[in-house]
Amino acid sequence: MILNSFNDIVFSAMAAAVSNKYTTIEESMNYADNKEIEKFKKMTGILGRYDVTEKQTSSDLCFAAANNICAKGKYVGDDIGVLIYVTQTPDYRTPSTAYALHQRLSLPNDCICFDVNLGCSGFVYGSTLVASLMATSNIQKGLLLIGDTNAKERLPKNKTNTTNTSMLFGDAGAAVLFEKRNGCQIKSSLRSDGTGFKALMKPYGAWRHPTGPERVPSDDIAVFNFTLNEVPDLIKDFILHEGKTIDDYDQMVLHQANLYIIKQIAKRLNIPMEKVPTSLDKYGNTSGASIPITLVEKYGESNENKELNLLMSGFGVGLSWGVMSAQINVNDILPLVHTDEYFDDGIAD
């Protein structure tokens, strides 16, 4: 396996943001009978989620999360040497939305800045990229912004390319501040399987297939089998290579795909659910933001001065999956932000 190890780098702050618009499953599935709704809730664990307003985008939520970290005095704009924005729902086809965020956050010109098109594994991949760039440079602080607004698929005017999994998704954005600090370490391992690139595909609306049908099926069975076979194996290998056991970690935070998958992965790893926090009951599947929003949900209101040793895994579109370990103090996980604000870029609709 490929192992990435970054010494003296730590998560120094974490924040997440959602809108003020909360939608219950009953409201979303008003076309279904009670039996179908209860079956969906039992299988997925989702009771409701937050949807952005019509003009909000994922970058607006990420901006609010990053601003929350800045407001707590964790960084000023000139501190940031790298900004990576991970999303599959960007503001523009070009340029990277990261440049608009760079301007909005008043970051310096001496800053590496770009988007990464990745979904549910994006937190682990994005963290590895930020840590890699910091480890090989004199950058002292970096920002990972990650978020998606997949729930917008359910809006009537956005029905093109809707998948049969769209009812799972909620909208969220997150920000993580990385900092060089002696004695800390981030480790990760990433894997890919391009033979499954069609499994969660949205093929229409880009350059190869500019237009297409209103609804696109996804291969849920292939994704399900991939997750339950490949993800536990990678986590087991990673723990073994670290020379640790699951008892050495305070929490194992998984991508919030659905409750059944989370329970099955925990079962295959013999990890008690008390060590596997969940957030999808309130937020749904928030794609790449699901790991940080789960930590914000669990610890954001806590004032405990405690160092957490975390094991985290993201998996999904690509197919792609990864696992990582990192440390963060509970005090550095900030309360959830609610916002309906959006960026007016001056461009007419």
Residue 163's pLDDT band (boundaries 50, 70, 90)? very low
Q: Are strands 337-338 and 4-18 parallel, antiparallel or unpaired?
A: parallel
For the cut 60, the answer to whether the pLDDT of residue 160 exceeds it is no
Q: What share of residues in the chain are helix, strand, coil (percent, to 5)?
A: 35, 25, 35
pLDDT digits (tens, 9 = 90+) for 164-181: 456 789 999 999 999 999
CA distance 336 to 172: 10
Q: Model-level pTM?
A: 0.93
Other C-beta atoms closer than 10 Å to the C-beta of 272 total 10
Residue 206's pLDDT band (boundaries 50, 70, 90)? confident
For the cut 90, the answer to whether the pLDDT of residue 216 exceeds it is no
For residue 279 the two structure tokens come to 């957030």
Q: Which has the closest alpha carbon to 134: 308, 7, 14, 2? A: 7
For the cut 80, the answer to whether the pLDDT of residue 205 exceeds it is no
Mean pLDDT of the chain: 91
For residue 34 the two structure tokens come to 């009670």
Residue 208: per-residue pLDDT: 80
Please give the average per-residue pLDDT across 101-130, as a whole number.
Answer: 97
Residue 152: per-residue pLDDT: 79
Q: Which of 150, 161, 258, 285 is catalytic?
A: 285
Residue 327: per-residue pLDDT: 95
Highest mean pLDDT among 40-49, 154-163, 174-183: 174-183
Q: Which has the closest alpha carbon to 254: 123, 61, 125, 117? A: 123
For the cut 70, the answer to whether the pLDDT of residue 217 exceeds it is no
pLDDT digits (tens, 9 = 90+) for 1-22: 999 999 999 999 999 999 999 9
Residue 349: per-residue pLDDT: 82
Residue 159: per-residue pLDDT: 47
Other C-beta atoms closer than 10 Å to the C-beta of 349 total 3
For residue 136 the two structure tokens come to 């090989």
C-beta of residue 97 within 8 angstroms of C-beta of residue 90? yes
Active-site residue flag, 255: yes
In which residue are the tokens 């924040």 written? 15
For the cut 60, the answer to whether the pLDDT of residue 161 exceeds it is no
Of the chain, the percentage scoring pLDDT greater than 90 comes to 74
Q: Which of 120, 150, 161, 184 is catalytic?
A: 120
pLDDT digits (tens, 9 = 90+) for 276-327: 999 999 999 999 999 999 999 999 999 899 999 999 999 988 889 999 999 9
C-beta of residue 189 within 8 angstroms of C-beta of residue 18? no
Which domains occur in the chain, in start order?
4-338 (3.40.47.10)
Q: Which of 67, 111, 255, 258 is catalytic?
A: 255
Residue 127's pLDDT band (boundaries 50, 70, 90)? very high
CA distance 81 to 140: 7
